[in-house]
Structure 1
């Protein structure tokens, strides 16, 4: 009896440990996307268009541009053209119309704790 339970448990753990979320990152390298973000406790919606070299963000009636540098199919860095601030992104899962990503500062500041945040982008074009 215990042997059957143990075998079943090990089998379940093996199947669970092999599961990886779907990541069709190539589908999200370029296009137009929308995303939600929070600013001062208020949820807002932004939009961005990304091609092979640039990302143009539209939010709060502002336009911001950044260069895009891909490390691999699922990881890239956006570097703001004006301020040179860089943010590292990692696509962690995809669906047929969205991708979920983690992002953090690409430059480590020894005086600040590194914060990793998560977001979801919806492909609209």
Structure 2
């Protein structure tokens, strides 16, 4: 039993080296690019976010949404002028990890179970 404290210290030091970095406040505002592959095609979304608004550009379409921050790493994107009932649902976002100029996130549409993941790069 005299080695138990040493073992716990070693275990703690090893696991703390692999802790995810989440400096979320660095990514609350700015212009970002998110690229994803779908059907063999690379899709690119550019969005500019302030503390209160997000303007998204995708395939020559521009959408503006309201932002509601839940905490430093989680927020809701709520469409301002949806064209249909399906477009009126909010999206819930959560930053999982951050690096110097990008963040990995997950999101889902409100009321839906499927979770999507991506990485956004700050411009």
Common fold by TM > 0.5: yes
**TM-score bracket, shorter-length normalisation:** 0.7 to 0.9
Q: How is 1:1-125 mapped onto 2 (pairs within 5 angstroms)? A: 11-18=9-16, 19-81=18-80, 82=82, 83-108=87-112, 114-124=113-123
Gaps of 5+ in 2: none
Gaps of 5+ in 1: 109-113
TM-score, normalisation: structure 2:
0.81
Q: Secondary structure at the match of 2:26?
A: helix
Deviation by residue 1:73-97 (Cα, 9 ceiling, x = unmatched): 0000101121321110000110110
Deviation at 1:45?
1.4
* Residues 77 and 106, structure 1, Cα contact 8 Å, conserved in 2: no
TM-score, normalisation: structure 1:
0.80
Q: Secondary structure at the match of 1:21?
A: coil
RMSD: 2.0
Structure 1 outlier segments of 4+, above 4 Å: 6-12
